[in-house]
């Protein structure tokens, strides 16, 4: 074999190896992206089924903010609409609140590309909020109330039977702890509810979806994200603290956050303290065994019955 042939072979081998590795990496990325899409479809479909969110003939108004979550919601609902055994329509709605530097061309261009019915509602709530809220104070509360009222009206005008919001699993848990820590109540963010005006049903199909998945899905789909801080309002610092707490728990105690989320759908009213929720005053011994009756003198639910020598000591170095 000539030296030139040997040199060519030695040069081509690494290139071929790199190409093979690159191909395998590409295949793996495609596989993982496909798996993510299937998981999101499964979780959204399960939430819709568990809470009867969408029924035959419904017209779903998907509130599109331009953020990763509402983009993911619209995308997955469009996929499920093609596969569902029932028929339902989708209309995407964006409320342009006239915030400074809001890129009002992005959403219309994106929605036209999808070939889906949409409506852009133009309402200058930004000026109202800036006029009523003192400089430096958080504007989110008033802005949210104004936005809610407008969207209810738009839902009526469009003939929408359901209003779909992009809140995910993390939002639900954060709200639960916010209400507990700062509102002194056990209250979360339900996957389905009647609106405060009594005229609309609001649904949250992403109720089972983790925020990390919507973040990655947004990257995969290359959604044209619009920043959520255009109004200059500070992020809700209390919510940010709760978010950091949950992320720290997930890092140090894998599975804890999953258990907390599961607990929201496994409630035992007789073992709480709400007199309106459970009739403690009229409670009497009936002589009939109850599956959820109080075990009173038994060991704690978390106890393993092990001796004290097997108890794992708490860490105190952090």
Average pLDDT of the chain to the nearest whole number: 85
Read off the tokens for 281: 């005053």
Instruction: Render pLDDT for 239-275 as a digit per residue (tens, 0 to 9).
Output: 889 999 999 999 999 999 999 999 999 998 888 999 9
Per-residue pLDDT at 64: 95
Strands (E), 149-237: 162-164, 192-194, 201-203
**Which distant-in-sequence residues (6+ apart) come within 8 Å of 239 by Cβ?**
174, 178
3-state secondary structure of 122: strand
Per-residue pLDDT at 164: 98
**Which distant-in-sequence residues (6+ apart) come within 8 Å of 153 by Cβ?**
none
**What's the rounded Cα separation, in Å, for the pair 225 and 308?**
54
Per-residue pLDDT at 152: 93
Query: What's the pLDDT band for 18 if we cut at 50, 70, 90?
Result: low
Q: Convert 154-174 to b/e letters by CB count within 10 Å (16 or more is b).
A: bbeeeebbbbbbbbbbbbbbb
Read off the tokens for 4: 């030139």
Q: Which helix (H) or strand (E) holds 26?
A: helix 3-50
The three-point CA angle 226-205-70 to 5° equals 5
Query: Is the predicted pLDDT of residue 314 greater than 50, yes or no?
Result: no
Beta-strand relationship, 192-194 and 201-203:
antiparallel
Q: Treating both helix axes as pointing N-terminal to C-terminal, what angle do 68-83 and 211-221 enclose, rounded to 10 degrees?
A: 80
Question: Average pLDDT in the 57-62 region?
Answer: 98
Question: Average pLDDT in the 279-308 region?
Answer: 68
**Which distant-in-sequence residues (6+ apart) come within 8 Å of 293 by Cβ?**
none
pTM of the shown model? 0.82
Query: Is the predicted pLDDT of residue 290 greater than 90, yes or no?
Result: no
């Amino acid at each position: 074999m000539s030296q030139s042939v040997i040199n060519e072979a030695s040069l081509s081998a690494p290139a071929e190896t790199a190409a093979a590795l690159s191909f395998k990496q590409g295949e793996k990325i495609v596989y993982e992206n496909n798996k993510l899409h299937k998981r999101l479809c499964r979780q959204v479909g399960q939430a819709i089924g568990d809470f009867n969110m969408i029924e035959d003939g419904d017209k779903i108004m998907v509130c599109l903010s331009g953020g990763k979550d509402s983009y993911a919601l619209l995308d997955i609902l469009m996929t499920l609409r093609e596969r569902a055994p029932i028929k339902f329509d989708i209309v995407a709605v964006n409320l342009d609140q006239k915030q400074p530097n809001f890129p009002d061309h992005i959403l219309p261009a994106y929605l036209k590309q999808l070939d889906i019915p949409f409506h852009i509602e133009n309402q200058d709530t930004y000026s109202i909020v800036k006029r009523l809220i003192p400089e430096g104070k958080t504007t989110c509360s008033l802005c949210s109330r104004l936005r809610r009222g407008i969207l209810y009206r738009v839902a009526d005008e469009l003939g929408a039977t359901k209003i779909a919001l992009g809140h995910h699993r993390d939002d639900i848990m954060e709200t639960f702890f916010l209400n507990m820590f700062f509102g002194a109540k056990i209250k979360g963010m339900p996957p389905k509810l009647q609106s405060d005006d009594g005229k609309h049903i609001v649904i949250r199909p992403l109720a089972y979806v983790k925020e990390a998945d919507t973040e990655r899905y947004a990257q995969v789909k290359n959604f044209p994200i619009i920043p959520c801080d255009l109004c200059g309002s500070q992020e809700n610092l209390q919510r940010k603290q709760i978010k950091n707490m949950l992320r720290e728990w997930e890092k140090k105690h894998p599975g804890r956050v999953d258990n907390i989320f599961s607990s929201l759908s496994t409630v035992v009213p007789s073992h709480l303290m709400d007199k309106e929720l459970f009739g403690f005053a009229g409670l009497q011994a009936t002589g009939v065994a109850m599956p959820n009756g109080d075990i009173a003198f038994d060991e704690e639910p978390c106890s393993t019955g092990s001796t004290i020598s097997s108890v794992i000591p708490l860490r105190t170095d952090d």
